[in-house]
Structure 1
Amino acid sequence: MAARDEDYDKLTPEEREVRDKADRERERAEQATLPYKWVQELGEVDITVPVPKGTRARDLAIVIQKKKLSVGFKGKDKIMEGELCKEIKIDESTWSVDNNEVVIHLEKVNAMEWWENILTHHPKLDTRKIEPPNGKLSDLDGETRGVVEKMMFDNQQKALGKPTSDELKKHEALEKFKRAHPELDFSNAKIS
């Protein structure tokens, strides 16, 4: 992925737009092949699994564990089963049957990161390109919004192999110190 990121950084804005559009189309096509649909916010994931008309909760075999999810009919093959890509809060995660679909609500343990997929063996989304709804971000108070924006920036920087905001601040402080003290020799300093 790092080589791909370097290539991406070298693209013109127009070339990036073309690549981003192609990536979004590929992701949409991959997601369309899944036996469920899903949406997420920073703290939660909602999954809908279509089931035949008349399906009742007692017909289903659903297992929700910290790192595992299984959905199917009792005594039959599973509709979906596998390891969750991240951990969830079991006590705050639920499921129900509503309008010919199973609705599964999962609360993330880490409410400050985007999921690439639901099950680890399913196609991944590029989480660096996720933009939260502006209404949700703007609903936050100033301090919380600042923390969320910083975390989003830092996650994107980490994904690209670039320095986080804290690392950038440290580097700026060091450069300022060097300018203020030109008499000091930093040539052999090991600074990470």
Structure 2
Amino acid sequence: MPAKSYDDMTKEERDTYDADGRESERKEQEALPYRWKQELSDVSISLPLPKGTRGKDLNVKIQKKFLSVALKGKAPLMEGELCKEIKVEDSTWTIEDQSLLDIHLEKLNKMQWWENVLSHHPKIDTTKIQPEDSKLSDLDGETRGMVEKMMFDQQQKQLGKATSDEAKKMEALRKFQAAHPEMDFSKAKIS
């Protein structure tokens, strides 16, 4: 018997499935040599360094779709293709307490959650991201509404469901069909 689809699961089954997924994701992320977090506009990375590390001891390359960090003369601590493009001119790095590298990457697309930092690293489920309310509440009503709609539509697309605009069009077609039962809608397409 095939496994149930997410939509066919009970609330308890979904909760268990989600909890298992979060735990697996947490373990994968903890195994990375760095920690990272994101907002819609940027990504922050913290990479532990040997105590006493100074800027001159590092080779840091930040490019539109590539990141590399290495101690001079050593193998990279992290290196690879970024999962999405960044604004190089607005991205920075600093060393904190001569033992922690903080990297700030400014996203090119500020309306998209990243699944990972480097494309070859484990992915997170972006449909489960809960942005901080304080950040969303800082936005004016119109902007907040637009961001929430975009987040909803992105989640719907990732789940293979209709976006809010597509749902509105389908509802309008259903109402029109109900008002005009004499018409044939078998070839009607929503685009």
Identify whether the pair has TM-score above 0.5, normalized to the shorter chain. yes
2:26 to 25, 28, 31: 28
**Partners of 1:59 and 1:179 in 2: how far apart?**
72
Is 1:52 matched with 2:50? yes
Gaps of 5+ in 2: none
**Partners of 1:116 and 1:62 in 2: how far apart?**
22
Gaps of 5+ in 1: none
Greater share of residues in strand: 1
| Number of aligned residues | 189
Please give the per-residue CA displacement for 1:61-100, whole angstroms capped at 9, x wherever unaligned: 0000010000111121000000000000111000011121
SS of the aligned residue for 1:88 comes to: coil
The one-letter amino acid paired with 1:63 is: K
Aligned residue number for residue 152 of structure 2 = 153
Aligned residue number for residue 101 of structure 2 = 102
**Partners of 1:167 and 1:190 in 2: how far apart?**
11
Q: Aligned pair in 2 of structure 1 residues 188, 39: CA closer, same or farther (>3 Å)?
A: closer
**Partners of 1:163 and 1:185 in 2: how far apart?**
23
2:7 to 6, 9, 16: 9
How do 1:118-157 residues align onto structure 2 when only pairs under 5 Å count? 118-157=117-156
Aligned residue number for residue 117 of structure 1 = 116
1:75 to 61, 73, 82: 73
Q: Aligned pair in 2 of structure 1 residues 55, 155: CA closer, same or farther (>3 Å)?
A: same
**Partners of 1:59 and 1:139 in 2: how far apart?**
39
Q: Aligned pair in 2 of structure 1 residues 152, 190: CA closer, same or farther (>3 Å)?
A: closer
1:38 to 12, 36, 40: 36
The CA deviation at 1:20 is: 1.1
1:18 to 16, 20, 32: 16
Q: Aligned pair in 2 of structure 1 residues 133, 190: CA closer, same or farther (>3 Å)?
A: closer
Note if contact 2:170-2:190 (Cα within 8 Å) is conserved in structure 1.
Answer: no
Measured on the aligned residues, the alpha-carbon RMSD in Å equals: 1.5
TM-score of the aligned structures, taking structure 2 as reference length:
0.94
Please give the per-residue CA displacement for 1:139-169, whole angstroms capped at 9, x wherever unaligned: 2111011001100110000001111111111
